[in-house]
Amino acid sequence: MSFLHSLFRRSIMPVPLSSWLLGAFIASLAGPFGTYHSLPWLERAAYWFAVIGGGMVLGRALLLWTEGYMPDDSYWRPALARTFAFTAIYTMILVYVHRHVIGWRPEETLTVGEIATVCFTLAFGVNVIRFLILSTQEPELEGPRLLRRLEPHMKGTILRLSGRDHYVDVHTDAGVTQILMRFSDALDELDGIDGHQVHRSHWVARHAVSGSEKAQGRDFLVLVDGARVPVSRSYRDSLKDTGLL
């Protein structure tokens, strides 16, 4: 559910949502690739809204995949992986829809090779545009590498991390967001922030700790944002040595 939640949240952001609506509206009027003569306007509009919307959702899903499982030291390696994966997956989807849902044969409009070429060109073009946009932005502020994975409005001072299955919840003074990665990898990207792992699934920044308390025989650290983070027995002694307990 976390992946689907992140995918939904990214898909309804203003830029992708408006791009989908505008692109689908223009395509439904222009009727490219033979759809102007093959479909009446309402069916043509439904076709292009579905095709463009589905392609954008798939593209966002592949972006989340590469962010979680591919290193961020290179732009083009994950970009090319997204491009080829999108081409293979969406070509198969479109061919299936044409043959078994709409009843078209691809050779009557576009051949399979032409559909693949269109998918590749669009996916590669989107990645080129994204590269140009990112290259014109101001350089990243100095800080831990983990911040580079966060959306701009979520970047701030890191307070704590929490691991859940294959996801990490990153709590900053701007809020909380989810990243698809291993907890141990997230800790490696903190780049020397003064903090402590206090539990198998929890890490806290030292500056974020406002106190400690004990409840039902368990130790907790109290943070500046009001959170209570459990301390496991294996980390209790080291935290006592640092004065946090």
Distance CA 143, CA 155 (A): 10
Confidence band of 106 (pLDDT split at 50, 70, 90): low
Distance CA 31, CA 17 (A): 21
107-121 pLDDT per residue, tens: 566 788 888 999 999
Q: What pLDDT does 1 receive?
A: 44
Q: Which range scores top for mean pLDDT: 14-23, 32-41, 145-154, 179-188?
A: 179-188
One-letter amino acid of 23:
G
Task: Among 6-10, 216-220, 230-234, name the one with the lowest average pLDDT.
Answer: 6-10
**In the chain, where the domains are located:** 2-136, 146-242
* Residue range 146-242, CATH number: 2.40.50.1020
Task: Output DSSP code: residue 102.
Answer: I
